[in-house]
Amino acid sequence: MSKNGEGGGRRLAVLGSTGSIGRQALEVVERHPSRLEVVALTAHSNLELLREQALRHRPLLLGVTGEEAGRRAQQELAGLGAEVLTGREALEAAASLPQADLVLNAVVGSAGLEATLAALGAGKRLALANKESLVAGGPLVLEALKRGGELIPVDSEHSAVFQCLRGEDPGEVESIILTASGGPFYGRSREELKGVGVNEALAHPTWKMGRKISVDSATLMNKGLEVIEAHFLFGLPYERIEVVAHPQSVIHSMVRFRDGAVMAQLSLPDMRLPISYALSFPERWEPAWRRTDLSGLGGLTFGELDRETFVCLDLAYRAGEAGGSAPAVLNAANEAAVASFLEGRIGFTDIGDIVKAVLERHRPAPLSGLRDVREAEREAAERTAVLIGKR
Ligand SMILES: NC(=O)c1ccc[n+]([C@@H]2O[C@H](COP(=O)([O-])OP(=O)(O)OC[C@H]3O[C@@H](n4cnc5c(N)ncnc54)[C@H](OP(=O)(O)O)[C@@H]3O)[C@@H](O)[C@H]2O)c1
């Protein structure tokens, strides 16, 4: 296959290629060398891995967004035959690269929003793992989508819903049911959560993921962000987005139809399947990553989530319903609080308490552009920093 697309395969830009999703996406590419070819890769800090990936995949463009890594990038990524760009523009350039047919946004945090908008603005098919860009800037993303581009979800829950909705009339959907493993602290009381450490929070029972999303899964903020993501992706009001605990993470989510039927998508917990589906859509490529042996599964169970102990889920519903800048504020406060927790500066239960306090002081305003998102985030980050300082 040639980088100018003459070989007929899909040319892919991977934003955040050094992360958990990015690395798994490159495994998918390596499994389908005649179908997928990498034309751009970006990283934030990990130049060593980016260099290794570039040697393997020979992209046209390498982007480095981190300041410190950016200073070393030209030298350390020399001789690879790729153009090297640094700073925020690098992400947008990779997202809108003319030689890319398909863009995977696997950046962590709302720093991914500009790239989401740039990819859609350039009319690309965007495989979106970066849920924070939909949470922070959902209305802007929907506006961009009206003008062009295409959005395919990568998050396993949204991929499941997307698959269940294929060929269905959206008017016949009663609700979406997002499943939640419950995270490592499922069933614990608030008292039991007070002293939990970083390593315990990172030890997810069913998924191996990046650090930020692992903490979000432990607080249930991840499920909250996914509720907001589902609202924007599938256009349903919040009261028609349900969540249910499902500790085995085999049913990735469901759709309830108005005749009472509930459709589910099942597979073993392995992100390479939803990544692969987002890259192969509307096709399905074999071989399967892991076959789901139903008789070996034992049982599938469901339960309620404890929304009083895990306050973040309700905070997300509240922010989503308030709309406008509120979800951006929720997300920014959460990003700052999680970073502080990971640095050992605040406790686990402080995350939800701080996000709640920041959200309560915010007066939601409509978002008319990226600048409004960044302004709301700046205000939220300042308030969060003050509250963190008081802990
Ligand atoms: N991991 C999962 O299983 C999973 C499942 C569903 C959804 N997601 C979503 O996918 C996204 C990525 O998650 P992850 O677990 O793969 O995260 P991760 O392992 O922390 O990787 C994040 C990637 O983004 C880069 N990055 C970090 N900060 C950045 C910034 N400010 N600007 C641009 N790039 C930056 C990192 O570069 P360096 O490594 O070079 O620093 C890395 O390539 C998140 O939105 C997450 O919610 C993840």
Q: 237-255, pLDDT tens digit by residue?
A: 999 999 999 999 999 999 9
Segment 71-89 shows an average pLDDT of 97
Assess whether pLDDT exceeds 80 at residue 2.
Answer: no
Task: Give pLDDT, residue 319.
Answer: 98
Residue 102 dihedral angles phi and psi, to the nearest 5°: -140, 135
Strand (E) positions, the chain? Answer: 10-15, 36-43, 61-64, 83-86, 102-105, 125-128, 150-153, 173-180, 241-245, 251-257, 262-266
Segment 313-327 shows an average pLDDT of 98
Distance CA 185, CA 190 (A): 10
pLDDT digits (tens, 9 = 90+) for 167-222: 999 999 999 999 999 999 999 999 999 889 999 999 988 888 999 999 999 999 99
Assess whether pLDDT exceeds 90 at residue 321.
Answer: yes
The protein residue with its alpha carbon nearest to ligand 1, atom 20, reads 210
**Quick one: what percent of the chain has pLDDT higher than 90?**
93
Q: CA 355, 361, 367, 373 torsion: positive or negative?
A: negative
Assess whether pLDDT exceeds 80 at residue 4.
Answer: no
| Tokens (6 digits) for 248 | 């085995």
B/e letters for 20-59, b = 16+ CB within 10 Å, e = fewer, are bbbebbbebbeebeebbbbbbbbbbebbebbbebbeebeb
In terms of Cα–Cα distance, which of 27, 26, 46 is closest to 38?
26
pTM of the full predicted structure? 0.97
Instruction: Evaluate whether 216 touches 334 at the Cβ level (below 8 Å).
Output: yes
Tell me which DSSP letter residue 303 carries.
Answer: B
pLDDT digits (tens, 9 = 90+) for 332-388: 999 999 999 999 999 999 999 999 999 999 999 999 999 999 999 999 999 999 999
Distance CA 205, CA 53 (A): 29
Distance CA 252, CA 310 (A): 21
Least confident of 155-164, 204-213, 262-271, 378-387: 204-213
pLDDT digits (tens, 9 = 90+) for 87-128: 989 999 999 999 999 999 999 999 999 999 999 999 999 999
Distance CA 264, CA 164 (A): 7
Strand order in the sheet with 102-105: 83-86, 61-64, 36-43, 10-15, 102-105, 125-128, 150-153
Least confident of 24-38, 202-216, 268-282: 202-216
Strand (E) positions, 267-342? Answer: none
Ligand 1 pocket residue status of 278, Cβ below 6 Å: no
Task: Give pLDDT, residue 371.
Answer: 98
Task: Give pLDDT, residue 266.
Answer: 97
Task: Give pLDDT, residue 6.
Answer: 60
Q: CA 285, 176, 238, 360 torsion: positive or negative?
A: negative
- Kindly give the distance from the C-alpha atom of residue 129 to the centroid of ligand 1, in angstroms, as a whole number: 9
Task: Give pLDDT, residue 372.
Answer: 98
Q: Counting atoms of ligand 1 from 1, which one is nearest the CA of 91? A: 33
Task: Give pLDDT, residue 390.
Answer: 87
Report strand pairing: 125-128 vs 102-105.
parallel
Determine the residue of 15, 20, 50 to mutate for testing ligand 1's pocket, defined as the one with the most ligand atoms within 8 A of the Cβ atom: 20
Determine the residue of 15, 104, 107, 219 to mutate for testing ligand 1's pocket, defined as the one with the most ligand atoms within 8 A of the Cβ atom: 107
Ligand 1 pocket residue status of 65, Cβ below 6 Å: yes
Distance of CA 188 to the CA centre of its chain: 26
Instruction: Evaluate whether 288 touches 303 at the Cβ level (below 8 Å).
Output: no
Q: What residues contact 288, with CB distance under 8 A and at least 6 apart?
A: 273
Q: Counting atoms of ligand 1 from 1, which one is nearest the CA of 46? A: 40
Token pair 């070989």 is found at 7
- Kindly give the distance from the C-alpha atom of residue 171 to the centroid of ligand 1, in angstroms, as a whole number: 34
**Quick one: what percent of the chain has pLDDT higher than 70?**
98
| Tokens (6 digits) for 335 | 């990003």
The protein residue with its alpha carbon nearest to ligand 1, atom 2, reads 209
- 352-355 long-range contacts, CB within 8 A, separation 24+: 352/219, 352/221, 352/310, 352/311, 352/312, 352/315, 353/311, 354/384, 354/387, 354/388, 355/221, 355/312, 355/315, 355/330, 355/384
Assess whether pLDDT exceeds 70 at residue 19.
Answer: yes
Residue 172: CB atoms within 10 Å: 12
- Kindly give the distance from the C-alpha atom of residue 266 to the centroid of ligand 1, in angstroms, as a whole number: 25
Distance CA 74, CA 33 (A): 28
Planar angle of CA 93, 230, 220, nearest 5 degrees: 100
Cis status, amide bond into 205, omega within 30 of 0: no
